């Protein structure tokens, strides 16, 4: 459960007021001790324009994050950063300020507003903090030009209002990897039943029917957690939408497409079929994400639709006693087999614009994004690289299947970024369908109206 709480806080974040400590200049608390069990190599020293004499000074640099917990991959991550940074600044101390889960964002927001935020900050709301003037411009950093196209596009700020023109076309953060959601399946069950990985919706339904007849739940859902509904539903619409129109998201915004149109109806009908055919667990709305993962890893369900953290979660469950099996992967698609992955980035690395350690912070970011630190992090987190030229050797073979689709599938902006709050109504409709309420196309009109009422508040992503 902890794994999902920290990895998906960007979906669950709420904002409140939590006051935090002193500024980076005055902060002297010691850093966390390195893990003795760390085995991955440290990064080579990153280039720095700081004079050699200044590098010998003692200072404490603060780093804020929400996802760095006690997992070995995270402890190795910290150790690699500390070791590499010592090569540049031998007397520096990294102070890790970790607040797990959703509380981190509200704490960070309050710290930024009170000029007490850490020097280097992981965040998941880069545009919001950019518009507040809280993040440093990192456009000229060497790694900025190496962001892969899909990430470069979404990480380059696009000004939609005159008051934000000063930020237009600049980069204010780096991605700590790209997550690819999709269907993870039990290869043993599929092999025993003679099922190949489905290539379209109809093949998925055919496989589900065969699995159901074998007395196994075809697809595990944990829709008690609303974010799981959004994750699944958004991926389904991404494919139905962009399969019909290469500019589906933008055309939704411009009114050429509608939220009660045929693409949305097809997506809703998909969930209607899953429910009517009993292809999902009957308690889908009453169990949460970890319980659905337990259904899958225990062999009671053959498939689960989740993000890139699923293999790691499976390994954790296997270590707790579940019988281990090989995982397979195939992406969400539409009836024709169209695949649009819509890669997501959750953990953004930025610098506090008010830091008194600007060059030291830039050097720390460069260390974190160096191959020797970044690649092991990606391997352990099961993300794909957001930086061109960094090759990752994954320990889990299922990632080779994921990467094969990453290289071949299309990718557009997430369609939800064009409709704002209209998506809330749509997610509620999916929940109703899974509860047993038959889908009525007229119910989608409420989503269209909510989108139109709130359209002026939407900030579009770069295209």
HEC-encoded secondary structure of the chain: CHHHHHHCHHHHCCCCCCCCCCCCCCCCCCCCCCCCCCCCCCCCCCCCCCCHHHHCCCEEEEEEECCCCCCHHHHHHHHHHHHHHHHHCCCEEEEEEECCCCHHHHHHHHHHHCCCCCCEEEECCHHHHHHCCCECCCCCCHHHHHECHHHHHHHECCCCCHHHHHHCCCECCEECCEECCEEEEEHHHHHHCCCCCCCCHHHHHHHHHHHHHCCCEEEECCCCCHHHHHHHHHHHHHHHHHHHCCCHHHHHHHCCCCCCCHHHHHHHHHHHHHHHCCCECCCCCCCCHHHHHHHHHCCCEEEEEECCCHHHHHHHHHHCCCCCCCEEEECCCCCCCCCECCCECCCEEEEECCCCCHHHHHHHHHHHCCHHHHHHHHHHHCCECCECCCCCCCCCCHHHHHHHHHHHCECCCCHHHHCCCHHHHHHHHHHHHHHCCCCCHHHHHHHHHHHHHCHHHCCCCCC
Q: What is the pTM of this model?
A: 0.75
**Is 399 within a domain?**
no
Please indicate, yes or no, whether residues 42 and 189 belong to a single structural domain of this protein.
Answer: no
Long-range contacts of 243-247 (CB under 8 A, 24+ apart): 243/334, 243/336, 243/338, 243/340, 246/412
Please indicate, yes or no, whether residues 80 and 167 belong to a single structural domain of this protein.
Answer: yes
Is 404 in contact with 382 (CB distance < 8 Å)? no
Residue 307: name the closest of 381, 217, 373, 364 by CA.
Answer: 381
**Tally of domains within the chain:** 2
Please indicate, yes or no, whether residues 258 and 321 belong to a single structural domain of this protein.
Answer: yes
The Cα 130–Cα 148 span in angstroms is 21
Instruction: Report the 10 Å Cβ neighbour count for 80.
Output: 24
Please indicate, yes or no, whether residues 358 and 280 belong to a single structural domain of this protein.
Answer: no
Q: What is the pLDDT of residues 96-139, one digit of tens each?
A: 999 998 799 999 999 999 999 999 999 988 988 999 999 999 99
**Is 402 within a domain?**
no
| Phi, psi of 306, rounded to the nearest 5 degrees | -155, 180
**Is 133 within a domain?**
yes
Q: What is the pLDDT of residue 228?
A: 94
The Cα 294–Cα 278 span in angstroms is 19
Is 329 in contact with 182 (CB distance < 8 Å)? yes
Please indicate, yes or no, whether residues 191 and 298 belong to a single structural domain of this protein.
Answer: yes
Please indicate, yes or no, whether residues 52 and 108 belong to a single structural domain of this protein.
Answer: yes
Low-confidence ranges of the chain (pLDDT < 70): 1-51, 343, 461-463
Q: What is the pLDDT of residue 275?
A: 98
Please indicate, yes or no, whether residues 327 and 288 belong to a single structural domain of this protein.
Answer: yes
By residue count, the chain amounts to 463
Residue 151: name the closest of 415, 411, 375, 458 by CA.
Answer: 411
Q: What is the pLDDT of residue 380?
A: 87
Please indicate, yes or no, whether residues 256 and 198 belong to a single structural domain of this protein.
Answer: yes
Instruction: Report the 10 Å Cβ neighbour count for 438.
Output: 9
**Is 57 within a domain?**
yes
Is 227 in contact with 6 (CB distance < 8 Å)? no
Owning domain of residue 355 = 2-178+346-387
**Is 395 within a domain?**
no
**Is 430 within a domain?**
yes
Please indicate, yes or no, whether residues 353 and 336 belong to a single structural domain of this protein.
Answer: no
**Is 242 within a domain?**
yes
The Cα 291–Cα 285 span in angstroms is 11
Please indicate, yes or no, whether residues 227 and 358 belong to a single structural domain of this protein.
Answer: no
Please indicate, yes or no, whether residues 253 and 359 belong to a single structural domain of this protein.
Answer: no
Residues 6+ apart with CB under 8 A from 96: 31, 32, 63, 65, 68, 78
Q: What is the pLDDT of residue 19?
A: 29
**Is 214 within a domain?**
yes
CA distances from 301 to 228, 277, 287 (A): 17, 15, 14
Q: What is the CA radius of gyration of the chain?
A: 23
Please indicate, yes or no, whether residues 48 and 106 belong to a single structural domain of this protein.
Answer: yes
Give the domain CATH number at 328.
3.40.190.10
Is 200 in contact with 339 (CB distance < 8 Å)? no
Residue position matching structure tokens 């991955």: 40
The Cα 28–Cα 216 span in angstroms is 56
CA distances from 144 to 117, 123, 360, 362 (A): 23, 17, 17, 12
Residue where one domain finishes, among candidates 371, 387, 403: 387
C-alpha torsion 422→423→428→434, nearest 10: 140
């Amino acid at each position: 459960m902890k794994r999902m709480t920290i990895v998906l806080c960007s979906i669950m974040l709420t904002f409140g007021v939590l006051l935090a400590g002193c500024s980076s200049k005055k902060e002297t608390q010691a850093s966390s001790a390195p893990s003795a069990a760390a085995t991955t190599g440290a990064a080579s020293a990153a280039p720095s324009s700081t004079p050699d004499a200044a590098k010998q000074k003692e200072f404490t640099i603060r780093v804020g994050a929400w996802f760095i917990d006690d997992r070995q991959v995270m402890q190795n991550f910290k150790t690699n950063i500390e070791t590499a940074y010592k090569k540049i600044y031998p007397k520096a101390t990294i102070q890790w300020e970790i607040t797990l889960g959703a509380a981190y964002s509200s704490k960070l927001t309050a710290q930024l507003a009170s000029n007490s935020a850490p020097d280097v900050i992981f965040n998941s709301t880069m545009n919001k903090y950019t518009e507040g003037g809280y993040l440093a411009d990192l456009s000229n950093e060497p790694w900025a030009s190496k962001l892969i196209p899909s990430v470069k596009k979404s990480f380059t700020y696009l000004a939609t209002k005159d008051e934000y023109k000063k930020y237009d076309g600049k980069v204010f953060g780096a991605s700590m990897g790209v997550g690819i959601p999709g269907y993870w399946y039990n290869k043993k069950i599929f092999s025993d039943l003679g099922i190949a990985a489905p290539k379209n919706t109809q093949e998925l339904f055919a496989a589900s029917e065969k699995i159901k007849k074998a007395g196994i739940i075809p697809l595990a859902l944990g829709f008690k957690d609303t974010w799981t509904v959004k994750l699944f539903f958004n991926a389904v619409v991404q494919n139905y939408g962009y399969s019909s129109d290469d500019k589906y998201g933008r055309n939704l915004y411009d009114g050429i497409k509608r939220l009660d149109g045929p693409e949305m109806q097809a997506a809703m009908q998909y969930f209607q079929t899953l429910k009517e055919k009993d292809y999902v667990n009957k308690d889908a709305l009453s169990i949460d994400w970890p319980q659905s993962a337990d259904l899958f890893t225990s062999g009671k369900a053959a498939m689960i639709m989740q993000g890139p953290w699923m293999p790691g979660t499976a390994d954790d469950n296997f270590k707790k006693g579940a019988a281990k099996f090989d995982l397979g992967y195939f992406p969400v698609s539409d009836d024709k087999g169209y695949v649009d992955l819509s890669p997501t980035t959750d953990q953004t690395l930025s610098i506090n614009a008010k830091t008194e350690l600007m060059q030291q912070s830039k050097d720390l970011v460069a260390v974190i994004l160096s191959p020797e630190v970044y690649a092991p992090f990606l391997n352990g987190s099961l993300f794909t690289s957001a930086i061109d030229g960094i090759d990752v050797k994954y320990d889990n073979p299922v990632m080779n299947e994921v990467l094969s689709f990453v290289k071949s599938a299309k990718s557009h902006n997430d369609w939800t970024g064009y409709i704002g709050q209209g998506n809330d109504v749509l997610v509620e409709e999916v929940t109703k369908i899974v509860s047993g309420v038959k889908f009525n196309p007229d119910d989608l009109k409420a989503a269209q109206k909510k989108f139109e009422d709130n359209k002026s508040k939407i900030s579009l992503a770069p295209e």
